[in-house]
């Protein structure tokens, strides 16, 4: 099994946080425009931009880890 390099892991984590923060910033900047364009009020915007994606992530993430989780767990235990 390959050894995880702490430096590479740190850089990858920083890049992931940067991309996440930028996407949240962009989304926050266009929420008002989306509300006007699609005739949505505050709770509807929250539902469309937060609740539905979270449900999809939980469903597909759960399916992924159900199918691949045992391999990931074995790899982590042998490290």
Look at residue 15 and tell me whether its pLDDT is greater than 80.
yes
Q: Residue 1 falls within a domain, yes or no?
A: no
Give the pLDDT confidence score for residue 18 in this predicted structure. Answer: 92
Q: Residue 20 falls within a domain, yes or no?
A: yes
The vertex-58 CA angle with 57 and 63, nearest 5°, equals 100
Give the pLDDT confidence score for residue 5 in this predicted structure. Answer: 78
Look at residue 72 and tell me whether its pLDDT is greater than 80.
no
The vertex-45 CA angle with 39 and 46, nearest 5°, equals 165
State if pTM tops 0.75: no
Q: Range of 42's domain?
A: 6-78
Residues 6+ apart with CB under 8 A from 40: 34, 48
Distance CA 38, CA 48 (A): 11
Q: What does pLDDT average to over the chain?
A: 83
Look at residue 75 and tell me whether its pLDDT is greater than 70.
yes
Q: Residue 36 falls within a domain, yes or no?
A: yes
More confident of the two residues 67 and 15 = 15
Considering its fold, how many domains does the chain have in total? Answer: 1
């Amino acid at each position: 099994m390959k050894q995880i390099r702490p430096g590479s892991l740190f850089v990858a984590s920083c890049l992931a946080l940067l991309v996440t923060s930028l996407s949240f910033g962009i989304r926050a900047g266009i929420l008002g425009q989306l509300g006007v364009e699609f005739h949505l009020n505050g709770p509807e915007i929250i539902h469309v931009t937060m609740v539905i994606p979270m449900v999809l992530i939980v469903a597909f993430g759960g399916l992924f880890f159900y199918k691949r989780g045992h391999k990931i767990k074995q790899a982590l235990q042998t490290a």
